[in-house]
Amino acid sequence: MSKRWFQAHQRDTWRRQARSKGYRARSAFKLKQIQEKFTLIREGDLVLDVGSHPGGWTQVSVEETGPNGFVLGIDLLASAPVEGAQMIIGDVTEESSQTEILELLQNGVKVNGKPLPPVNEGETRLFNTIVSDISPRLTGQYDRDQAISLELVAMVFDFTLPLLRPGGAFVTKIFQGTGIEGIVNAAKQRFSRVQRFSPEASRNSSSEVFLVCKNKLPLSKKGSRGTSVMQELDIHLENEGIIQQKGNEPEEEIKSGFRRIPKKE
């Protein structure tokens, strides 16, 4: 039995199960298995689902939060509505999306069909949990895909952590390979518990792993204050000799799949 045949068979099994249980994607089982082990989402929670299309993780999040919770999905792509959730179309790495989400959180949360009262002046309503299954459009070149995905994950941390309340939980998909330690170390500066987990639904099928982070610290640890996850990833990659220090290399140079994403204007 070839490895490829086995992997395809496994994927089909999860896909069939998803269809029979009414989930839009087999990835729903990944979040279910993460939830079974770590209980990241509790009843009544406010949850942000990053990279939510077509909505499998959103469906699982709604099941877990129940009627007193609130789930907001964001994706570049439009999804069919998920009962009990709100969806927005947008790029999570854009500042405008962060502003839109924050505004919605303060004044647009509906629980059980009724809007929550707007927060008092000076207070901010934040999410209890952020779940991210985000993935860039894959090119099929593993080094390149893994590098782009790592940078995307760093951006998701930087753009969404300000939306997560202290004590909150965060999980993100990440592709194993060069530089992953840079992200793991940056996460450890911001959460008291960080663990890699490979749910059965993704085992054998790819090199993805989930980084499960619990208990967001009120302030990141001393060494990390004032730096972003992206900066810490860059420093890690420079220390490992994977990218060169800024200014020492032509911008275009690519090493081991890594490229610098130019800052958005």
Ligand X SMILES: C[S@@+](CC[C@H](N)C(=O)[O-])C[C@H]1O[C@@H](n2cnc3c(N)ncnc32)[C@H](O)[C@@H]1O
- The residues that touch ligand X, with contacts defined as CB under 6 A, are 24-25, 27-28, 51-57, 74-77, 91-93, 133-136
CB-nearer residue toward ligand X: 17 or 185: 17
Quote the least distance from Cβ 170 to ligand X, whole Å: 15
Point out the catalytic residue in the list 21, 30, 37, 173: 173
Quote the least distance from Cβ 214 to ligand X, whole Å: 20
Which residues make Cβ contacts (< 8 Å) with residue 247, sequence separation at least 6?
A: none
25, 46 in Cβ contact below 8 A? no
CB-nearer residue toward ligand X: 61 or 220: 61
Which residues make Cβ contacts (< 8 Å) with residue 234, sequence separation at least 6?
A: 243
CB-nearer residue toward ligand X: 75 or 220: 75
Which position has the token pair 């942000």? Answer: 48
Quote the least distance from Cβ 121 to ligand X, whole Å: 31
Phi-psi region of 11 (alpha: psi -120 to 50; beta: other; left: phi over 0): alpha
CA 108 to chain centre: 22
Q: Is 214 considered catalytic here?
A: no
Quote the least distance from Cβ 119 to ligand X, whole Å: 26
CB-nearer residue toward ligand X: 55 or 69: 55
Secondary structure (H, E, C), 160-194: HHHHEEEEEEEEEEEECCCCHHHHHHHHHCCEEEE
Q: Which residues are catalytic?
A: 173
